[in-house]
Structure 1
Amino acid sequence: MRIERTAVIGAGNWGTALAKLLADKGEEVRLWSRSPAHVDALRRDRENRRYLPGAALPASLQPADSLTCVADCQSVVMAVPSHGFREVFVQLVPLLQDSTVLVSAVKGIEIASGQTMCQVMQAELAKQGRSGRLHVGVLSGPSFADEVARAQPTAITVGFTDLAAAKAVQQLFSTPFFRVYTSSDIIGLEISAAMKNVIAIAAGIADGLGCGLNARAALITRGLAEITRLGVALGANPLTFAGLGGLGDLVLTCTGSLSRNRTVGLKLGEGRTLAQALAEMTMVAEGVKTTKSCWQLAASLGVEMPILAQVYQILYEDKPCEAAVQELFQRSLKEEVEL
């Protein structure tokens, strides 16, 4: 399986960083934005000054404002926010070649359906009679866009059930600084990617309250336990959660100063309302919407997720952050590992 051209759908910081990585390798890449004005600026400046300032865009990267840019591409990377993912993908499906490799680089779960992004793609392919003709997978792992754009060492995982597709995407993205592993556990990678943003909000809240480093370590560890419970309930491999897409991404997002979700939590812990915190952000913090979708999903499956529940109540029921911390620590005592 050979990939000669790639379209990246979504010209935010992550989509731009991935498109730049491929273009810097010499790959032919199209980078789509729904905004013609944004596309004009990308063409003129050869830089995404709004979302990824300072990163020069190579000549082989072609900005586009029409989804027809995917028509002759062998791979399509979806990098639009989860709340707009389905709307864009529905329009893409008729334009795709058979055997196209579809890669979700989005870390979220759709609120209305409770589906991961790969499940959304599979559902829409089935509706349009394309099911089984294209390869669907995910790219995930500890990877801040700014560092990828600056060619700083990064390792991620791609997940496909089809081994040939996994290896093709592995080869496509691998560079001397960007190491790519493969996995067949798509659901495990997607649940990890979505839920780590929720735990990062919790970690930011704890930091904003001044709870200390002990509390942050506890949140990361117990957060990983919650993520694993949800993933296993959906059929994931438990070992996935100890890998790059699980623990690796969780640690990065809960501790890194570039984390948008931790930043939202930090502002909440310092006393801002959710509306105030989001108004101060220039980019989407996926964890806010993902908190609601994961809370609904966990409830439907009967999976106990106390940290998730407290973050949900803070974001959507105006629960004071201090009260949420108190309630977590006043829960009944139990064994750490439950088989």
Structure 2
Amino acid sequence: MQQQIRASGPAGGIASHAQYRCRRPVVSTRAAVAGGKVYIDPVKKECTAFAPATVANLGPGFDWLGCAVEGEGDTVTARVLPDQPGKVVIDKIEGDNGRLSLNAADNCIGIAAIETLKLIGQPSCGVALTLHKGLPLGSGMGSSAASAAAAAWAVNGLFGSPVSKDELVLAGLASEAAVSGYHADNVGPSLLGGFVLVRSCDPLELVRLPFGGSDPLYFVLVNPLFEAPTKQMRAVLPRDVPFKSMIHNSTQGGALVAAILQGNARLLGSALDSDCIVEPVRAPLIPGMIAVKAAAKEAGAYGCTISGAGPTAVAVVSDAGVGARVADAMAAAFRSEGKLEINSKVVVRLDPEGAKFV
């Protein structure tokens, strides 16, 4: 049964069996009273969290469907800043080649940490952050969302995890809005794990979709050395969509959801391969992408499309051996047709857990 999560902000409703309305948490951490205010004390001096890469859009699931995958991701360590209530600073960032700002208000981990402290309440301390980037920037694998998810989970962990992952998606959304747009198809699965359907962002309403059955499911991810910033890739999207295209993508989106619930990798691959609105305008901007898509299917993939905003290409297979062959074919097409070198090529499973403590 799919699990549904709703949140209109910190003051939501009441939880039931299959549906969750995020609300201000009941804080179980130690609290101290000073100047008439109740301050919440941390329970740890330091906490480290990892959040996985994600595959968003999945073809016709543009902005409303994503999943977390095993393998690389981002890691954030949160450290207590004594006697500096609510302050957030970034001490160090590794793996970004010096490109990301150390100003907390301008960085996705800083924004996520600030919003997480608001959800926690009145912290008696501040937080210092260290980020290790395991994902390349502008990769189409949810790089900024993984950073935000790891930061939110690490800061939450400092205080004994009083805020649920469901509500922490709100902190991640605030972070995403500042760097790539107000959409939860990356940060939702990076925090929660598995497949996540975004029914609404305002108010936030997420539906977890369990991959049914026992059939194996593998994702082939090939990331070329080419950057496709989300804001630039969104700028090429059509303002008007033909009626027939809308119907086609709606049916294929329905097939995506059916494939997930049935555990049907073949149908999942076929459906994600069938986008006729977004992929046609984005693929020509990624050198070699059209050839990569054809090469993946010729090598045995059930389907192939752009992961997120690109340039990473994602294919679906049900066998790791076939996946290795597909990865080689996709990488070769990027090199020969796109004249691009390859940053990484991996065959990975679904990550059912999402953000986790290290």
Same fold (TM over 0.5): no
> Whose RCO is larger (CA < 8 A, sep 6+)?
2
TM-score between the two structures when normalised by the length of structure 1: 0.29
Kindly indicate which of the two structures has a greater share of residues assigned to strand: 2
